[in-house]
């Protein structure tokens, strides 16, 4: 089978773009979650949408598993290769096809880097709102697959809130279109269903993204607290006051230590945590909200509160926050980035429990997270060369996820389920809900060849058979090409 597949792939893609040697494949054997590794049969580098479609149709014909990949920044093993399958990289599908400033949307290919969308929209006074920490390298295709968020998702929402239309090739080889530039579409939200599918349905070929006007003014405050729990309680107080900041982020002492060493960020001394709050919007609104925010933060008794005086100071604050994940590598040879959600009103309690579990496990945990929506990103530090260290770190990660579910939260906010959290999904959803997910996946991918083994366990997804039109086409909201 491998020989047949490689021969057929060679007939579609020139040899220089069909990687087969072990040294070539090594760079693709994991994504951002390096604890999981797998070597694919081959890596294919298409340069056009037609080539992607041809590859997927060949995979369907041969029942050959495939995994779509952009920059490989997934932190849940979502773009981990499949044994005996191929990786289809999309980085060369990187064209911004159109920017419509009047109607505020951009049409892009999946390999476009997140920040490039804002760069293209900036001359028109617009920007693309979702801003994951890896936004300078992560691609739109991956953002769509995992419904990425970012620091400013509190006010602006996730990727799903900004996707207007998708052209995709399903795992069956069918090319379909969902939605479009218009914001008013009757019937089911197929774009919303496709966004966050983790590659189980197929591959996005084009995405229509909503653009929003640049904020007229920003007001960014960095407040230091004696304890992590105090910082969490300050978040609840800000929201309780009726304010809706553009972003609210927390970093604990370990994360601050790492960020200081990496990018020379300056934080108030003697603090166990800092809270970043950023207001944005029309000048008059921000000024009114600023006064209310000042009062709330003063009552939360911070050690110190600093206001960014200009754009340079604002960017310095955000540089420290967005560098935190990679900077933690200075403190430990290995770490696991976890991603769970708890209700805001239980944020302080959750942080206290993570500290307790960290001590019990004998592992350090650096906390960096989107505090406004309770999206925790505990970074569990360990040394993979020590016997049993990875297993202890994974066990602690599991305890944190179970805590999130018990508090009424979620096992993921934006990093996805991938392979890392697959076993925890049934703890959050019942049998009927799990069956519904498998059936939906089967409607898009009856053979189970698109990113198999991610999110839903392999071999247990029913293969649904539909006569006549594709079930999504019958609605009239999706069309074949």
Cβ pair 75, 337 in contact under 8 A: yes
Question: What are the backbone dihedrals phi and psi of residue 348, each rounded to the nearest 5 degrees, phi first?
Answer: -60, -40
3-state secondary structure 102-147: CCCEEEECCCCEHHHHHHHHHHHCEECCCECCCCCCCEHHHHHHHC
Helix (H) or strand (E) holding 195: none
**Structure-block tokens of residue 428:** 């959050």
Distance CA 273, CA 270 (A): 9
3-state secondary structure 34-64: CCCCCCCCEEECCCCHHHHHHHHHHHHHHCC
Strands 66-69 and 86-89 come out as parallel
Query: What local confidence, expressed as pLDDT, does residue 460 receive?
Result: 39
Distance CA 114, CA 106 (A): 12
Query: What local confidence, expressed as pLDDT, does residue 1 receive?
Result: 64
Q: Which residues pair with residue 307 across a beta bridge?
A: 221
Distance CA 99, CA 230 (A): 44
Query: What local confidence, expressed as pLDDT, does residue 220 receive?
Result: 96
Q: Which residues of the chain have pLDDT under 70?
A: 1, 458-481
Locus of tokens 């944020």? 347
DSSP 155-168: HH--GGGTEEEEEE
- Domains identified in the chain and CATH numbers: 96-214 (3.30.465.10), 217-326 (3.30.70.2190), 332-424 (3.30.70.2740)
Query: What local confidence, expressed as pLDDT, does residue 465 receive?
Result: 30
Length, in residues, of the chain? 481
Distance CA 278, CA 154 (A): 11
Query: What local confidence, expressed as pLDDT, does residue 472 receive?
Result: 40
Query: What local confidence, expressed as pLDDT, does residue 447 receive?
Result: 96
Helix (H) or strand (E) holding 413: none
Question: What are the backbone dihedrals phi and psi of residue 99, each rounded to the nearest 5 degrees, phi first?
Answer: -120, 115
Distance CA 477, CA 473 (A): 7
Three-state DSSP state, 28:
helix
pTM above 0.85, yes or no: yes
Three-state DSSP state, 189:
coil
């Amino acid at each position: 089978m491998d020989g047949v597949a490689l021969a057929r792939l060679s007939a579609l893609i020139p040899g220089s773009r069909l990687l087969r040697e072990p040294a070539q494949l090594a760079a693709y054997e994991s994504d951002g979650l390096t604890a999981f590794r797998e070597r694919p049969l081959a890596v294919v580098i298409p340069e056009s949408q037609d080539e992607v479609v041809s590859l997927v149709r060949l995979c369907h014909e041969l029942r050959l598993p495939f995994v779509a990949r952009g920059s490989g920044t997934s932190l849940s093993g979502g773009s981990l290769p499949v044994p005996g399958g191929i990786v289809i990289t999309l980085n060369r599908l990187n064209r911004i096809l159109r920017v419509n400033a009047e109607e505020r949307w951009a049409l892009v290919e999946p390999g476009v880097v997140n920040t490039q969308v804002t760069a293209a929209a900036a001359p028109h006074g617009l920007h693309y709102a979702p801003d994951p920490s890896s936004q300078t390298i992560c691609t739109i295709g991956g953002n769509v697959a995992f419904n990425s968020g970012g620091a400013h998702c509190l006010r602006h929402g996730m990727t799903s809130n900004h996707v207007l239309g998708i052209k995709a090739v399903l795992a069956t080889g069918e090319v379909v279109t969902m939605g479009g530039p218009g914001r008013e579409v009757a019937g089911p939200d197929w774009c919303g269903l496709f966004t966050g599918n983790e590659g189980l349905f197929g591959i996005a070929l084009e995405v229509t993204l909503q653009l929003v006007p640049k904020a007229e003014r920003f007001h960014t405050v960095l407040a230091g607290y004696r304890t992590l729990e105090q910082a969490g309680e300050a978040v609840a107080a800000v929201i309780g006051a009726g304010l809706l900041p553009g972003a609210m982020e927390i970093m604990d002492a370990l994360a601050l230590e790492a960020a200081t060493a990496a990018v020379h960020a300056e934080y108030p001394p003697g603090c166990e945590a800092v809270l970043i709050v950023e207001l944005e919007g029309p000048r008059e609104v921000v000024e009114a909200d600023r006064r209310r925010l000042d009062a709330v933060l003063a009552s939360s008794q911070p050690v110190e509160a600093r206001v960014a005086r200009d754009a340079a100071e604002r960017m310095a604050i955000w540089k420290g926050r967005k560098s935190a994940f990679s900077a933690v590598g200075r403190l430990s040879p290995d770490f696991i980035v976890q991603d769970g959600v708890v209700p805001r009103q239980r944020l302080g309690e959750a942080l206290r429990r993570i500290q307790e579990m960290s001590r019990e496990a004998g592992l350090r945990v650096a906390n960096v997270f989107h505090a406004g929506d309770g999206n925790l990103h505990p970074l569990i530090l360990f040394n993979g060369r020590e016997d049993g260290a990875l297993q202890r770190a994974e066990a602690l990660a599991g305890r944190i996820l179970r805590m999130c579910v018990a508090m009424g939260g979620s096992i993921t906010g934006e990093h996805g389920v991938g392979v890392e959290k697959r076993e925890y999904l049934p703890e959050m959803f019942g049998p009927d809900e799990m069956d519904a997910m498998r059936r939906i996946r089967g409607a898009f991918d009856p053979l189970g060849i698109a990113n198999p083994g991610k999110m839903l366990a392999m071999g247990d997804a029913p293969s649904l058979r539909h006569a006549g039109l594709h079930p999504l086409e019958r609605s009239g909201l999706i069309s074949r090409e």
